[in-house]
Amino acid sequence: MTVLVIPEDPRKDHYILEPLFRRLFKNLGKPRAHVEICWDPSLGGVSEALKSKRIQEVIDLYDWSTSIFILCVDRDGVEGRRQSLDRIEYEFGQERTFVAACAWEEIETWALAGLDLPAKWSWADVRAEIHVKETYFDILAKQRGVADEPGGGRKTLGEEATRHIPKIRQRCREDFDALARRLKAVI
């Protein structure tokens, strides 16, 4: 089974998404799932990732070799983001397995959910923050001494976080756990 993860921007997100989905599929009983990140075409942002034309480009290139497509975007505090993803899922999910996920509020939240956070941070505050990347993730990367590593610490912290999939699912029920349950239903 080949899984293509389509990030809104793969340059940094791939450091979190690739190991996260590898481990998730392993936990879902599919340890041999081949997880790939979509680099070509690179969507270059959430506005492009929500355009049917851009998603069609990805489908045209990879439909023949892909079992599951997973589009991952940040919510970024936009109330109607899930409805936009529902529309895209309906449009592209009729003839293939295509699911779309909206990280609350940013992909980095999923990584933070699997990590031990500083004692003074409350998970409720992290979860409520729209600018998770700047307010929490980048600060944690600096505190841990990995901010200068690939992806601004995303490689190290992403790999570490993925060792705790149940914790991520428990802390991110509305987005990551919901996605995991949907994927379990289709595999």
> What's the confidence (pLDDT) of residue 44?
87
- Cα-Cα-Cα-Cα dihedral sign, residues 138, 140, 143, 146: negative
Listed in sequence order, the residues at least 6 apart from 38 whose beta carbon sits closer than 8 Å to its beta carbon are 4, 5, 6, 7, 10, 58, 62
Q: What is the pLDDT of residues 103-148, one digit of tens each?
A: 999 999 999 999 999 999 999 999 999 999 999 999 999 999 999 9
**Distances from the Cα of 136 to the Cαs of 36, 145, 164, in angstroms?**
27, 14, 19
> What's the confidence (pLDDT) of residue 112?
98
- Cα-Cα-Cα-Cα dihedral sign, residues 34, 35, 37, 41: positive
Q: How far apart are CA 119 and CA 129, in angstroms?
A: 17
Listed in sequence order, the residues at least 6 apart from 82 whose beta carbon sits closer than 8 Å to its beta carbon are 75, 102
Q: How far apart are CA 154 and CA 167, in angstroms?
A: 18
Is the pLDDT confidence value at 94 over 90?
A: no
> What's the confidence (pLDDT) of residue 175?
95
Residue listed under structure tokens 């851009």: 54
Is 82 exposed, middle or buried, given 0-12, 13-18 or 19+ CB atoms closer than 10 A? middle
Q: Phi/psi class of residue 44: alpha, beta or left (left: φ > 0; alpha: ψ in -120 to 50)?
A: left
Alpha-carbon torsion angle 160, 164, 10, 178, nearest 10: -170
Residue listed under structure tokens 């990367």: 141
- Letter for the amino acid at 147? A
Q: What is the pLDDT of residues 154-169, one digit of tens each?
A: 999 999 999 999 999 9
Q: How far apart are CA 18 and CA 16, in angstroms?
A: 6
Could you please state the CATH topology (level 3) that the domain comprising 2-186 is classified under: Rossmann fold (3.40.50)
